[in-house]
Structure 1
């Protein structure tokens, strides 16, 4: 698999979204972390749901969480066309591939347009996200199989992990699935963690600043490590239990994600 161009590497913050149906969003917290092969993305509407934890959310708050989004997987770039192949997704999967036409305006601003022209996004590279850059893919050591990833770009990290149960494949949206589920099942449906934050060159704990899980902001994803420039510097016992909802037997490293066939892009 070819690496994405170096110009894409780092953390990008979305500054603007406009769509042909009249939507305009400049307030949601949206971050995209890109490594040579892997990406992770988190999208938190403003204001975020205020609750101490997922378990203490009211049903109304649980439904509000359904408006969040985020995903992780493989990135493929060909010319000015970028495709994000989602292997972990907070929302139910879409039949339409996630593909944009990209244009750089200088080194730190990136414009993305849908191939059909329905949306336009403006991205800015986050300072201190250049330099160290790596991605680590994980899978559950037990069944059912779950996937996760830990990505680092400069001073920042992003962690994404599958929910413990699969979403229904009936085409219904996440809000409808949560609304009709029993209370215990609702928590499992919302337990897809995407957490973003800073590790400050490994000198301090990896502090979470944004997360799809209520109450995670301010938590540490990992302890501090000085040897963080490569994923080999993270102890296996810490990786095994990473995240708020790790598998019963923990996570294990894998060389490559489990990936369906990538759809070809016709520009």
Structure 2
């Protein structure tokens, strides 16, 4: 699979989605970070949640978590058709393809349209996301079912990691929450992390601005001593042993793109 064109690189913020049914959304915080091959996409509804650990959230707050979305993997582009191959997903895997027709209004504004015309989305590239752009796929040292990635674009980062316990396929996380009531700890359903933020050229800790784990918001992903522009940043033991809320046994190791 070839690298994507340079015009796609950086962080794109969604300004609007308009469905053919008439429903629209401009309030959900949606960020798509695209590197030459790897991507991450995080979608947090506008209703804010307190910065609490998953175990401390009440039933209504856990239900609100079910509306979050996030996924990461590899992007494939053929002409103006873009397909995002999801290798990890916050929602249960349902077999649907993620594919759209892309049109650049200019270098910083992009329109995505469904192949069946059921929706269109307006994307705007964040200026501070231009510059060095790269990503690294990660696997657990002692558990190769644990997958993650760290993506960098300009001043921004996105870290993604799948759940310690895999989630069975299904239609929506709401269904999994209902099924787990009184049988398992519901917090295990929500331990898929996608955390997005800025590192400010390494001058301050890598601040998480939004995350699928509400307790991570405002925290640091990595210490300021980790230089995001260092050639060997992905080989840095401080990164591989500490990044993420649910670190696999033995930490992470660098792996080829999936």
Structure 2 residue 65 is the aligned partner of structure 1 residue 90: no
Q: Hey, what does 1:196 align to over in structure 2?
A: 196
C-alpha displacement of 1:202: 1.4
Q: Deviations over 1:114-146 (max 9, x none)?
A: 101111000000121000101011011123611
Report what 1:262 is aligned to.
none
Q: CA RMSD in A?
A: 1.5
Q: CA deviation at 1:249?
A: 2.1
Give 1:205's aligned residue. Answer: 205
8 Å CA contact 1:33, 1:39 repeated in 2: yes
* CA distance in 2: counterparts of 1:140 and 1:185, whole angstroms: 23
Cα distance in structure 2, aligned partners of 1:115 and 1:53: 39
* Residue 220, structure 1, aligned to residue 220, structure 2: yes
Query: 1:82: how far off?
Result: 0.4
- In 2, are the aligned partners of 1:109 and 1:122 still within 8 Å (CA)? yes
CA positional deviation for 1:185? 3.2
CA distance in 2, matches of 1:193, 1:231: 25
Distance 2:191 2:161 in 1: 9
- Work out whether residues 94 and 171 of structure 2, in 8 Å CA contact, stay in contact via their aligned partners in 1: no
Aligned twin of 1:246: 247
Query: TM-score normalised to the size of structure 2?
Result: 0.95
- Alpha carbons of structure 1 residues 9 and 230: separation in structure 2 relative to 1, 3 Å: farther
Query: What displacement does 1:184 show?
Result: 4.8
Confirm or deny: 8 A CA contact 2:199 2:228 kept in the other structure. no
Offset from partner CA, 1:5-25 (integer Å, 9 cap, x none): 000000000000011122200
Distance apart, 1:215 and its partner CA:
1.6
* Residue aligned with 2:60, SS: helix
1:13 match: 13
Flag as ranges the 4+ runs of structure 1 deviating above 4 A: none
User: Which residue number corresponds to residue 173 of structure 2?
Assistant: 174
Match in the other structure for 2:163: 163
How far the C-alpha of 1:165 sits from its partner, in A, is 1.2
Which consecutive unaligned segments of at least 5 residues does structure 1 have? 258-267
Secondary structure of 1:148's match?
Answer: strand
**Does the C-alpha gap of structure 1 residues 231 and 64 become closer, same or farther in structure 2, counting only changes over 3 Å?**
farther
2:134 is the alignment partner of 1:152: no
Provide structure 2 residue ranges, at least 5 long, that are not aligned to the other structure: none
1:226 Cα deviation after fit: 6.4
SS at match of 1:215: helix
Cα shift at 1:251: 1.2
How many pairs were matched up?
256
TM-score normalised over the length of structure 1:
0.91
